[in-house]
Amino acid sequence: MQYSNDDIWSVVKSNLISKNTENRLLQTWFLPTDLVSVENNMNARRFRLGVPTELHKYWISENLFERICSEISSVYKQPFEVELVVTGKAINTYPESPGALHQAMSATERHQDVAPMMAPIVAPPVMRKPGDYLNPEYSFSSFVVGRNNEFAHATSFRIAQRPGSEGYNPLFICGPTGMGKTHLLHAVGNYIRETHPESRILYISAERFLNECISSIRRGEMDKFKQRFRENCDLLLMDDIQVLGRGEAVQEEFFHTLNHFFEKGRQVVVASDRIPKDIKGLEDRIRTRLEWGLIADIQMPDIETRMAILRYKAEKRSMLLPDDVINYIAKISKRSIRELEGNLNKVKMFSELQGLPINLDLTKKVLAVHDDSTTITIDEIQRLVAEHYKIRIVDLKSKSRNKPIVVARQMAMYFIKNHLDKSLVDIGRAFGSRDHTTVLNALRRIDSQLLEDSDLKKDFDELQGRIHNITGV
């Protein structure tokens, strides 16, 4: 039977889902996958499959790629290739059934250009319970959801509703410092504390876990340590888990603690500034255990989400912030949510000390050291382009004529010329002292190829969006 390209993918996707109806992990990572395009090459047909994030791409590559190829070969008997590409389309929620999940995905894609809103999840107020170290201020209702964190938020709330669910244990939240990972850890604990007050919950940093373990070994009190972290705990929330790569003896204890939780069906949620495979010094057996569960990443919020966070923080502090002030603070606070909140606090304190109303002039005066709101550096553009094309910055400055590197180099030159007041000579100097004619040719080539090459246009739009998230323009 002959199938069209779309029919082939529909059959493949349907077969995989129907054969894994109980595999929630597969459904979570695989359902957002879609057919982007099919290319007919001389030797084989290439199926390009789109996934929302790099983490989806990584999980499917490691766990599902062979099964996808096997299903394609069952309906398409000719030579073929499969390529995974990141499209950036995100999922907003994860309902119980595959059908409901598919509907939720469609709804998200229809509304993906809508400005970020506050999370519609409101939990009752909670009180800190002695010994669990939970901060009652960190709840799902106080977490601002945007495109950068909606997957991590949705999975965290799902776990809070059903701790110990198959496929979600452990939940591994990763992302740069100051992005809200700790907030989600506490939110999970606080929600479970409210809905299941009998649960024994423990939030702890990996640094503290490491220090307490070493201290217990030295004092010969490992029985007490194991009692606390295994027998007397139903939910373990561990922050900054990358620290565990420093201690071999501690890793042994952590490995057995993980196994104990999994065997008992108890939930583990951890946070790190990098994914498991990138944690130096971490034993393979622990890395494997962490990758068994669900990995959810958080990135720096775009400017619209930063503005939404500011509005929420200002309302909580009973501050009246004009829109131009919110826009300005969001533009210059590009490193983390902590920086965003810190700048807001500076403005508030200065206003109260001086008895002055908050306006744009006052805000610029207080935050003058950060006043680079509409600029981005050459180094930053080179870093963004290198990360996008998965090459090194040194490659951009090298003499290499490898096509992917040449394209990336030309793209970086183009963005520098369009976003910075730099001469052709200045730009050439930043790329291994190339002459101005080389830069001029690069600019002309990108201009012409943007009209003809859809893949290049897609790369351009994604990089333009990332630059916008930094500069706001």
For the beta carbon of residue 459, count every other beta carbon within 10 angstroms: 18
| Domains annotated on the chain, with CATH | 5-86 (3.30.300.180), 124-297 (3.40.50.300), 303-370 (1.10.8.60), 378-471 (1.10.1750.10)
Residues 6+ apart with CB under 8 A from 8: 47, 72, 75, 76
pLDDT at 166: 63
pLDDT at 107: 33
For the beta carbon of residue 167, count every other beta carbon within 10 angstroms: 15
DSSP letter (8 states) at residue 317: T
Residues 6+ apart with CB under 8 A from 362: 347, 350, 351, 356
The strand ranges marked E within 80-223 are 80-86, 171-174, 201-205
**Are 213 and 225 spatial neighbours (Cβ–Cβ below 8 Å)?**
yes
pLDDT tens, the chain, 473 aa long: 566 777 888 888 888 888 777 666 676 778 888 898 888 776 678 888 998 877 778 778 767 777 788 788 778 877 778 888 888 765 443 333 333 333 333 333 333 333 333 333 333 333 334 445 788 888 998 888 887 888 899 999 999 998 887 668 899 999 877 788 999 999 999 999 999 988 999 998 888 888 888 888 888 889 999 988 888 899 999 999 988 887 777 898 999 999 999 888 899 999 998 888 888 888 889 988 888 888 888 887 878 888 888 988 888 888 889 999 999 998 888 777 888 888 898 898 888 888 889 999 999 988 886 555 446 789 889 988 998 888 888 999 998 889 999 999 999 999 998 888 788 888 999 999 898 889 999 999 998 998 888 889 888 888 887 777 666 55
Distance from C-alpha of 61 to C-alpha of 177, rounded to nearest angstrom: 27
The secondary structure of 441-469 as a DSSP string is HHHHHHHHHTTT-HHHHHHHHHHHHHHHH
pLDDT at 268: 94
- Cβ burial of 130 (10 Å; 0-12, 13-18, 19+) is exposed
The strand ranges marked E within 45-180 are 45-51, 80-86, 171-174
Distance from C-alpha of 184 to C-alpha of 190, rounded to nearest angstrom: 10
**Are 178 and 335 spatial neighbours (Cβ–Cβ below 8 Å)?**
yes
- Cβ burial of 149 (10 Å; 0-12, 13-18, 19+) is buried
Sheet order of strands, 201-205 included = 201-205, 235-239, 267-272, 171-174, 294-297
**Are 258 and 268 spatial neighbours (Cβ–Cβ below 8 Å)?**
yes
Residue 2 phi, psi (nearest 5)? -90, 135
Q: Which of 385, 440, 380 is nearest to 409 (CA)?
A: 385
pLDDT at 42: 65
